[in-house]
Amino acid sequence: GDSVTQMEGPVTLSEEAFLTINCTYTATGYPSLFWYVQYPGEGLQLLLKATKADDKGSNKGFEATYRKETTSFHLEKGSVQVSDSAVYFCALMMDSNYQLIWGAGTKLIIKP
């Protein structure tokens, strides 16, 4: 079945470091891809999304490009801040059923 695999955490970085969180997917069709973020004590929030191959989603300095050839949607940010500390979830959605299929989440810790 369809699935999402993302790198295990926690990922610990210093402020202003470059961030990459890897995400790969398996799907029978052409899904839409999402990154959600969960800040401590808060609910899940959509960070960015991409609906077709080569699309780039971006928000708050984060970017991810839908790579069909490698079935990947890696999350990147050029310079992280302490306030970026959170759990990041990669997810996919098939048009056929609108349910989100999630990765296990990657906890990001940014140290000042």
Q: Which residues bind other proteins (CB under 8 A)?
A: 4, 32, 34, 36, 42-46, 49, 51, 89, 91, 93, 95, 97-105
Q: Specify the residue, 18 or 39, whose C-beta has the smaller distance to other proteins.
A: 39
Q: Specify the residue, 42 or 69, whose C-beta has the smaller distance to other proteins.
A: 42
Integer angstrom CA distances of residue 15 from 7, 47, 56, 64: 20, 20, 24, 20
Shortest distance, CB of residue 17 to other proteins, whole angstroms? 24
N-to-C CA span, the chain:
41
41: helix, strand or coil = coil
Q: Specify the residue, 17 or 100, whose C-beta has the smaller distance to other proteins.
A: 100
CA 65, 59, 44, 19 dihedral sign is: positive
The amino acid present at 94, given as its one-letter code, is M
Measured between alpha carbons, how far is 25 from 39 in angstroms, rounded to an integer? 24
Shortest distance, CB of residue 89 to other proteins, whole angstroms? 5
Shortest distance, CB of residue 40 to other proteins, whole angstroms? 12
Shortest distance, CB of residue 76 to other proteins, whole angstroms? 20
CA angle 108, 85, 21 (to 5 degrees): 35
Q: Specify the residue, 45 or 81, whose C-beta has the smaller distance to other proteins.
A: 45
